[in-house]
Structure 1
Amino acid sequence: MTAEPIAAGETGQSTGSRYREVTDANGRVYRLGETDRDILGHSRKFMVYLPWVAMMAISVSEYAYGSAEDTLSSAHGWTQSNTFWILSIWVFFQAGIAFPAGWLREKGILTAKRATMTGAFMCLLGFLALSHFDNVWLAILGFGVVGGLGSGLVYATCINMVGKWFPERKGGKTGFVNGGFAYGSLPFIFIFNYGFDTSNYHRVLDMIGVYVLVVVLVCAFFFRDPPKNWWPAGIDPLNRTGTGKSEKSLAKNPPAVRQFTPKEAIRTGMLPLMWLSLVLTAGVSIFGISFQVDFAKEVGFGPLVAASSMGVMAVINGVGRAVVGWMSDVLGRKPSLVFVIVVLGLAQFGVIWAGDIRSEWLFLFFAFLSGFGGGAFYPMFAALTPDYFGENYNATNYGLVYSGKLISGLFGGGLGSMVVAAWGYNGAYALAGGISMLAALVALLLRQPGRERDTAT
């Protein structure tokens, strides 16, 4: 593969630094010469840490919700099915906004900063609705729809921005940021299990809404995307034989052969396969998040074990995303993805076993595995998407892949509650394990478009 300079000029940014564009043998263009400090005025590491903090702030909406459902049901007079459907609607809109938000960002209509700030205010409205509306339909509209859209704006912006700033080593960075969306909920899981009741739920939910608003607004103020085709200075995008971390990662996860538009990505057949695999895997993950605490209580484990199992799941769910993200930079994205999906499936059968023999330590162990597998696949799909289709249209392409969570939220939460009612927890967990194994088989079919089959992707 050779590089040939094809253009040079001023950046069009306020930096005034010069850059040049080179093209590889596949016709992909790289914009070289500008450092992150030329564009931002500071290190691009801030585009990892700030999105990470914002993701931790919004994680309470999904990962701590299962711990709050009993109090919410008692306070508002809702059934268990009502509370699960509120979360399912939240998931539907949280995932559904990713594609339109990405399209607006890439058209220049909505900046990263504006998208995230808008999301912050919508998250606040969601918690206020959950706190003050007894009518379940108003709670669905406020928390499920408005709050879900707000969280989705924050989530999609943070994840896509990291991939744009770290195109040469996106797995570990994406996994780190994505991990905040899980373990950031840990304090609230214990608050909802031990300090949340019908006497204080208004105050607690209102304060959480304000907390999310303030944290996300502060982070969003500094958000900014790099120029299209930007590549970090000092790293050769065409070098796959070096000994540095970036070169080794590029050897295992070569850049996309060109920048695919959403229509082109769909036509390759790989984006629909990613979508299907994510639908199946995310459904199993959401099922575990929604029902693990209730299953622990049904089996007869005490509130400490129930809360700890969810806490373990949340922490490992988040830490696992960072670990697997790093692992994918070293071993390859697709093998890492298949590995975590299989672990998630096996964990579902392990939870059944632990419940049957009434073993608390085994239950916590398989909650550990379920949390690991149930979170680590998200950054893998987030990193695979620009690996396969390029960074320029990543916000829309990953928005399409992530939209699979629309379906997952329905059968993982709402429909999952119906399966539990009909088949019991053992039957529901067994079905979840089988679905996860099917998702792993689908992931095995993934191939980088335009790349030879013997690559690591």
Structure 2
Amino acid sequence: MSTENERSATGSVAYREVTDSKGRVYRVGETDRDILGHSRKCMVYLPWAAMMAISVSEYAYGSAEDTLSAAHGWTQSNTFWILSVWVFFQAGIAFPAGWMRERGILTARRAMFTGSALCFVGFLALAHLDNVFLAICGFGVIGGLGSGLIYATCINMVGKWFPERRGAKTGFVNGGFAYGSLPFIFIFNYAFDTGNFAEVLDLIGVYVLIAVIICGWFFKDPPKNWWPSDVDPLSFAGNKKSAQSLAKNPPAVKQFTPKEAIRSGMLPLMWITVVMTAGVSIFGISFQVDFAKEVGFGPLVAASSMGVMAVVNGVGRAVVGWLSDLWGRKLTLFFVILVLGLAQFGVIWAGDMRSEWLFLFFAFLSGFGGGAFYPMFAALTPDYFGENYNATNYGLVYSGKLVSGLFGGGLGSMVVDAWGYNGAYALAGGISMVAAALALLLRQPGRPRGSGIVPNPMPVSREAV
């Protein structure tokens, strides 16, 4: 059944609100160009560019730690805890930001502008504050909040504009958060020292500020319940690629509020899986360069291993996003987490063998698994719970990273001190294996196990006025 409304938000195109057999409402009839004035592809490339800009904060940080320690007089533990606090606040802001976005308190553009300013302050703090506590407040708290605002806004933006094919699009945007750091990894390893560190960090802060502001200026959300005009929301006919993806990843049976998503049991399970998997990923980011140096590999291999991890981490996100449209999100997620766990044991083996090429290979696998699970959860959340409350629901799921940041970085350093790198990597591998098993328990709320899409034969009419 369907109910026709007078006009769309643009004031020029009629739309219908179509209700399927389970009561879910789809707003159809308006194209992306009717709403934006141009193709929705820009809502892929702009978030991607912004994610590229902020990636330096996390994925290049490990390459800058030695210089920062020497310049400010910090210990290795100090630098690890700065990153851990950054991760905590970067992930922690996702839920409150989503809550404010869905209530109209914080627009997408305002979130991007605020985030860019906070990131800028964070880099200034890292460059000019010797006091560890002040650096934690500046880069860890303020910079983390800024990056989290930008990250959450970008991920939710692409998910809203591509509800029928979000795996590949979300993976592509999410990938920028990793491989965007590649130039800075090599800068921090080869052209970053105690004589120029402040100037370099200041310039990076300016770069992030300008890039994010430019991207955020063009951000705009689609109307609630919007569905692309080239895919029928009842029969899923129209676009072949979209139909294939929807067959493997059927839309949520309804728009779940955060309370309903929690009561389903699936959101808490997703949260626990994120905590475990993200902790292993952050551990690898934090310690891979240092482990390579301790084993005796040269600075080129150490930098290259992190560079390989960043590139594969980012490219892997795009690849698995595309793959999940073919295989299904759950199977793809299990595969990714399993690879991450096996890679941790491989890193130990490569270190024991003193094999640089083997080390780079397992850095490749670790980078792949350590990033590719993020877009899977970003796509699974609206797949399971719908788009209307996705900013809040995904904020809850992603908040698992704030817990994992503690044991992945700060507590990870304690495990390294107590058990050595081999013991720490073995523990990380075991945690990944448990997380992979938990991923197999995920299922879409309200849809029977093993059920697919049963097309509704009722046609949907689209009339323009």
TM-score by length of 2: 0.96
Please say if residues 230 and 239 of structure 2, whose CA atoms lie closer than 8 Å, have aligned partners that are also in contact. Answer: no
Give 1:379's aligned amino acid: P
List structure 1 runs of 4+ shifted beyond 6 angstroms: none
Task: Look up the match of 1:285.
Answer: 281
Please say if residues 231 and 239 of structure 2, whose CA atoms lie closer than 8 Å, have aligned partners that are also in contact. Answer: no
Provide the secondary structure at the position in 1 that maps to 2:443.
coil
Provide the secondary structure at the position in 2 that maps to 1:384.
helix
Matched, 1:405 2:376: no
Report the Cα offset of residue 241 of structure 1.
6.7
The one-character-per-residue Cα deviations of 1:20-65 (angstroms, maximum 9, x if unpaired) are: 1000000000000000011111100000000000000000000000
Matches within 5 A, 1:292-307: 292-307=288-303
Report the Cα offset of residue 243 of structure 1.
7.2
The one-character-per-residue Cα deviations of 1:107-140 (angstroms, maximum 9, x if unpaired) are: 0111001001100000000000000000000000
Provide the secondary structure at the position in 2 that maps to 1:9.
coil
Identify which range, 353-362 or 13-22, moves more after superposition. Answer: 13-22
Matched, 1:63 2:67: no
Provide the secondary structure at the position in 2 that maps to 1:31.
strand
Give 1:325's aligned amino acid: G
Give 1:408's aligned amino acid: S
Cα distance in 1 for partners of 2:320, 2:230 equals 26
Cα distance in 1 for partners of 2:439, 2:161 equals 26
Report the Cα offset of residue 237 of structure 1.
1.6
Cα distance in 2 for partners of 1:319, 1:286 equals 17
Paired residues, number = 453
Cα distance in 2 for partners of 1:191, 1:107 equals 41
State, as a whole percentage, how many aligned pairs show the same letter.
81
Cα distance in 1 for partners of 2:57, 2:218 equals 23
- Unpaired runs of 5+ residues, structure 2, are 454-465
Report the Cα offset of residue 6 of structure 1.
2.4
TM-score by length of 1: 0.98
Task: Look up the match of 1:9.
Answer: 6
Give 1:247's aligned amino acid: A
Matches within 5 A, 1:72-83: 72-83=68-79
Matches within 5 A, 1:384-395: 384-395=380-391
Provide the secondary structure at the position in 1 that maps to 2:6.
strand
Cα distance in 2 for partners of 1:15, 1:369 equals 50
Cα distance in 2 for partners of 1:241, 1:49 equals 27
Please say if residues 336 and 373 of structure 2, whose CA atoms lie closer than 8 Å, have aligned partners that are also in contact. Answer: yes
Cα distance in 1 for partners of 2:239, 2:14 equals 28
Cα distance in 2 for partners of 1:15, 1:38 equals 10
Report the Cα offset of residue 395 of structure 1.
0.2
Matches within 5 A, 1:56-455: 56-240=52-236, 244-455=240-451
Cα distance in 2 for partners of 1:251, 1:158 equals 26
C-alpha spacing 1:169/1:198, structure 2 compared with 1 (3 Å): same
- Unpaired runs of 5+ residues, structure 1, are none
Matched, 1:24 2:3: no
CA RMSD of aligned residues (A): 1.0
**Aligned with residue 40 of structure 1, among 36, 43, 52:** 36
The one-character-per-residue Cα deviations of 1:304-359 (angstroms, maximum 9, x if unpaired) are: 00000000000000000000000000110000000000000000000000000100
Cα distance in 2 for partners of 1:159, 1:189 equals 24
